[in-house]
Amino acid sequence: MPNSTADLPEFSKLDPGQINAQLESILSENLQRIDTILLENSQYSWDNLIAPMDTLNDRLAKFWSPVSHLNAVCNTDKLREAYNQAQPKLSAYHSKLGQNHQLYLAYKQLANTELNSDQQKVIANALRDFELSGVALPTDKQQRFAAIKLRTNNLSTKFSENVLDSTQAWHKHITDQKELAGLPKLALAAAKQAAQAKDLDGYLLTLEFPSYLPIMSYCDNRELRSEVYRAFATRASATPANQQWDNSPIIEELLALRLEMANMLDFDSYAHFSLATKMANTPQEVLGFLNELADQSVNTARFEFNTLSQFALGLDELDKLEAWDVGYYAEKLKKQQYAISQEQLRPYFPIDKVLQGLFSITSRLFNFEISQIKQFDSWHQDVTLYQISRDDQVIARFYLDPFARANKRGGAWMDVCRTRRLTEEGEIQLPTAYLVCNFNPPVGSDPALLTHDELTTLFHEFGHGLHHMMTKMEYADISGINGVPWDAVELPSQFLENWCWQPQALTLISGHYLNGETLPADMLEKLLAARNFQSAMALVRQLEFSLFDYRLHLEFQPGDSVVQPLLDEIRLQVAAVTPPAFNCFQNGFSHIFAGGYAAGYYSYKWAEVLSSDAFSLFEEKGIFHCETGLLFLQHILEKGGSEEPAKLFKDFRGRDPDSQALLRHCGIGQ
């Protein structure tokens, strides 16, 4: 089957020294072209306004996508400098477009012409976004609004850099293996490999997740767990070791600027402002949703924590279960109750077998084939590139960058490389995604081995990728995840995670790296039995983050030192585990201070109601039921942002969503 990479980014040729000159040229030419479009036409049509605007937007996106991506996955001093210099230029450009009154009037004129439903959605979204960009403000206020947007962009970038730099600044060199007693062989080998990479003897611990989590979960050395926990929990804080990266003043300034921006548009708070582009309609609806889930789960979560405390007391006479003890004793309790642990599962999930299973499952559900593209321009040797085909036609592509390394942002995410759209030349541009994770890389001659938690992370990100790649939309603004309300965007990702818990699917995903044997029946039984182990504790942790985020953006007033007191208050309401006073969780909460989740972190739980209820139809029909898979493809994945998610869900499920499926999957209230 033919493949083409000619239209993909040339990462190896990206020169940080040229980025800003090239960007300035594109922005200048785009603005000139927009002026010409507005000047040459008095009656606007799709072809003389939207189609050329789409081309200009795509040109900029194609240039900026690899720059932004490399800044996240291969951060260097030169690239960071170029990226930071470019941010004000991009912010000014987008503010100028969003506040272009003549362009706004052109869109309004077009809204009153004959358009199909997809085109109407594009125009409606655009008019809404013009208004949310301050197009109706007086000139002096427009300038202030643009200045706020620029400043918040810069602050968010700095927040992310501070988290990365403080994470990478800490390491602990250990020469005595006894200090690491309890650590699994793979984690030990990885720590040894990390030390060797720095020309050190012994073992090197870092705050990257593949190093941090095994310490928290398995290391017998309580003092070491405490030290590593403190280092992680105080990243980007005012502590002496981190004060040069302290995010506290950034948080205060961001909150004040967001409130000012919302007030300028006559919203009572940034929480109100954020709902203009979401499924939920009012703050009361969001808070009611979160508090209802809390009411149904907090007692169970606290019972789970008390059970864990009693277990630790009985096992090691531990009078008080500290934050750095929770993961460690949870693993021991889980192993006692279910005789299973994440590390025991690793040998059965070598990454190649996992990918083979993932591709097989999604191909059966959504009727496509996936094949690898061997020759392509990459940014790292660990990266692979794949194409998705249907009926011998390539319909999408995706990069996979699975492993943790230095100068790579932590976490896992999907991002857009290319958006599906109909070009002015009448050709379909192939959607292309970046899929990024931070798993343990291969150690020695062994392949990379995933825990079951990491397996679900991979499925989650691939679900986002499918949302982007399976779209049939021809207009970029509603293609894939574009135009999808933020509180619905997690639906496909959380939906796909469900297959990680299905026996039929696990036979496809698992295969021991030494002999290829699938997960044994007894281990599978234990894994499934342990699925809801401490699930209420996990749920209230997400509710804590969601309530903190939403109430912070709802209640913040400049000059109030509300951040920590509010977090403390919410923990009293919903938390099962209360962190120590030195914990500065908020200083590393990149989702809301450096990502797109400000006043929107509740989206994870909101969408999980949708995803659980969507999957319940597969539970009724069969997890590989082709017709149901094609229904999900047709009504959810292909539609992108072309219709409201509530309607799309109802078209798929035949009714409104029901939260009981989520609680049932969590083992709560059964």
- Active-site residue set: 461
Sign (positive or negative) of CA dihedral 160, 435, 451, 513: negative
Whole-angstrom Cα distance, residue 128 to residue 121?
11
- 563's CB contacts (< 8 A; 6+ apart) are 251, 252, 255, 552, 586
Tokens representing residue 281 in the block: 């309609």
Whole-angstrom Cα distance, residue 604 to residue 336?
31
* Cα 594 off chain centre by: 12
Tokens representing residue 355 in the block: 């990918």
Whole-angstrom Cα distance, residue 577 to residue 306?
10
Please state, in angstroms and as integers, the Cα–Cα distance from residue 555 to each residue in 118, 255, 425, 559, 562, following that order: 37, 10, 50, 12, 9
Whole-angstrom Cα distance, residue 84 to residue 71?
10
Query: What DSSP line would sit under 4-57, residue for residue?
Result: --TTS--GGG--HHHHHHHHHHHHHHHHHHHHHHHHH-SS--IIIIIHHHHHHH
Q: Look at phi and psi of residue 317 and say left if phi exceeds 0, alpha if psi is from -120 to 50, else beta.
A: left
Please state, in angstroms and as integers, the Cα–Cα distance from residue 354 to each residue in 267, 291, 469, 551, following that order: 47, 37, 20, 39
- 196's CB contacts (< 8 A; 6+ apart) are none
Please state, in angstroms and as integers, the Cα–Cα distance from residue 633 to each residue in 445, 477, 489, 637, following that order: 40, 19, 15, 5
Q: What is the 3-state secondary structure (H, E, C) of 393-422?
A: EEEEEEEEEEECCCCCCCCCEEEEEECCEE
- 77's CB contacts (< 8 A; 6+ apart) are none
């990491």: which residue's tokens? 454
Tokens representing residue 240 in the block: 């002496």
Contact 414, 464 (CB under 8 A): yes
**At 173, which amino acid appears?**
H
DSSP three-state, residue 467: helix
**Nearest residue to 155 (alpha-carbon basis) of 98, 236, 43:** 236
**Nearest residue to 382 (alpha-carbon basis) of 448, 445, 322:** 448
């207009």: which residue's tokens? 475
Tokens representing residue 609 in the block: 């109601």
